[in-house]
Amino acid sequence: MDVLSYWCAVELFSPQNWRDDQLIALSSSRNDDHRVSVAEQERLPWDGIHADLLIGPVDNERRSYTNLYNDLQSRKIYRLQTDMYARLTKPFSFAEDTENWLRAQAAKSRLDEQTITGLLGETNRLWLEVAEQPGPLPAGTELTDSMVSRLLQVVEKLSAKANRSGSACAVYRKDYDRRFARRPVHQAVKPGESSEQQEGVGRQNRWLRHERFRIAVGLSQRVVTNALLKAAKLVRELSPAEETAQDEVLQELAHRQSKSAGGPSAVASLMEFCVGDDGCLVPRSLMLSQYAKAVSCLFNHEGWPDCPAGWPHIEVFDDTESKLKSEFNRLAGEDSGDEAGRPMYKAGPVGRYEIESLIEHVADRMGLDDRAVSSSPLFARADGSPLIRDYVNCHLEASSESLNGEMMDSFFLEDLEDLYQNGPEIFSEPVRQYLSIGHPRRFNLQKDPEGHLVGDFTEPAGMPFGRWPSASNQFQSTGQQLAINQIRAALEGYGSSSLLGVNGPPGTGKTTLLKDVVAEIIVARARRLAGFSRPQDIFTSRRLARATS
């Protein structure tokens, strides 16, 4: 269990890195590593978004929303533009648009003046029932579900009178900042259908769906790594071999960071939350990373150089996490009538100040504020705080169906914690071997130009007897043969370990290698069977006791 606890701790401090550089600057200070400043990104991604709604007849609704929108560009009867609160950004004249379309259809549809006048009177009465005011709707008027439904009904009626085939259709387009969305979002309006994603009781504009921007708040892994190294030295002095191994790891980390220059290098998430394209927080979207809890345990542990068993104990944050999520949901408009708790800031559309306030509040509750971090014996003034305040990561979510968000922590963490909670009795033999395996000396074959190490492992005497059926001129590379020979040695019990790993990029022959391993196992079994004179000699007799109830 101590070994498993160790691996849990390792994975807690092995989070997922940010994979892109869609950054939003929060403060006026420029960050040279990421080349981002308020001047370059003055508008937030959810500022100034409009929905361009087209309503008219189409021949075939079973097409992509993009194709329907493009078709309606020439066939529309009504065009309306709203902001993300479904408020008109331009005046809309129902009577004028209706008359213009009818007169455009008059010649080919044989509509006389009397028919046009009658249709205008009838449709104007239908529209007035939902618009509740004569004349054009001014900018700022909310476009309700009943208005959109009525426009679709009118399109059906007008299309029938004008002998236009097809059905009424409404599709809108939203254009986003290209840094956060590569292409516009198109959506068809389906009256009468409600969505659980449309928040708020009694909303009158469910026709307008809201996309979500996922915001990630960062922690510097460089600062955390330096703190971990300092903690390791406090716990015990490293041996020369351990110092060498540590230097190798640090060199590898430095190499990886240098390769990612110009992008967000070695940044992981403290938390994530969503902001709708209307600028409002999305309820139930706040998620804290396990990594953030482990980092807090690292800086707030008061017992250094002693390190308790099972550390870090991130379960101490369960109650804090629950309270933070409740506060966040209340601020996002959920349970708005509940007066319990102190709000972090006023609810409503969020800007840079509100995001900064949220970061500071969560950091304070998680013990990652400047006061707590600077009080730690692991704090280094040259490194500063692990909390990144100058910018956040942002991207438009591809789907609005789930609030689970991106994976912030290690892929293996959940499985390891499940093993730790349920005890070693559920361990399979490979898991037991993997968790208890020693760490033998590592050899860099590239630093063996004479090939002595490779030669020892690829001697003809160690070659397998079996091979997967293939052309005689298609043979394994030296690296593949080395791995096969090592696996064969493990299977026959004279290798250094019975559990081996083979790593390599896609297309480098791992599956081909595995086929030869399978072939060798089959041939080895056949060779053993061939050593018996009679088939019955393969089996051994053993008396079994009868089971009693």
- Using alpha carbons, select from 14, 16, 20, 13 the residue that is nearest to residue 391: 20
Q: Is 137 helix (H, G, I), strand (E, B) or coil?
A: strand
Relative orientation angle of helices 429-436 and 2-12, to the nearest 10 degrees: 80
The Cα–Cα gap between 66 and 11 comes to 43
pLDDT score recorded for residue 1: 47
Check pLDDT > 50 for residue 548.
yes
Q: What are phi and psi of 538, to 5 degrees?
A: -65, -30
Q: How does pLDDT run across 403-440, given as a tens digit for each residue?
A: 666 688 888 888 777 777 776 677 777 777 776 656 55
Residue 123 · residue 73 · CB < 8 Å: no
Residue 124 · residue 94 · CB < 8 Å: yes
pLDDT score recorded for residue 523: 92
Percentage of the residues of the chain whose pLDDT score is greater than 70? 82
Cα 456 versus chain centre, distance: 46
- Using alpha carbons, select from 421, 317, 315 the residue that is nearest to residue 367: 317
Q: How does pLDDT run across 137-192, given as a tens digit for each residue?
A: 999 999 999 999 999 999 999 999 888 888 999 999 999 988 888 889 999 997 65
Handedness of CA 35, 38, 40, 45 (dihedral sign): positive
Handedness of CA 465, 468, 470, 475 (dihedral sign): negative
Q: What stretches of 110-220 show up as alpha helix (H) in DSSP?
A: 113-131, 145-161
The Cα–Cα gap between 454 and 440 comes to 17
Handedness of CA 364, 369, 374, 379 (dihedral sign): positive
The Cα–Cα gap between 481 and 483 comes to 5
For the chain, which residues make up each domain, given as ranges?
1-16+414-439, 17-43+211-409, 51-174+177-188, 449-535
The Cα–Cα gap between 324 and 336 comes to 15
Handedness of CA 243, 246, 252, 254 (dihedral sign): negative
Check pLDDT > 90 for residue 522.
yes
pLDDT score recorded for residue 237: 76
Residue 275 · residue 350 · CB < 8 Å: yes
Check pLDDT > 50 for residue 212.
yes
Q: How confident is the model at residue 30 (pLDDT cuts 50, 70, 90)?
A: very low
Helix (H) or strand (E) holding 69: helix 65-75
- Using alpha carbons, select from 108, 204, 110, 187 the residue that is nearest to residue 148: 204
pLDDT score recorded for residue 487: 84
pLDDT score recorded for residue 198: 44
Residue 500 · residue 486 · CB < 8 Å: yes
Please provide the average confidence, as pLDDT, over all residues in the chain. Answer: 82
Highest mean pLDDT among 156-165, 305-314, 336-345, 418-427: 156-165
Relative orientation angle of helices 113-131 and 145-161, to the nearest 10 degrees: 170
Q: How does pLDDT run across 69-83, given as a tens digit for each residue?
A: 999 999 999 999 999
pLDDT score recorded for residue 430: 72
Within 8 A by CB and 6+ apart from 408, the residues are 15, 16, 216, 268, 269, 272, 287, 289, 290, 291
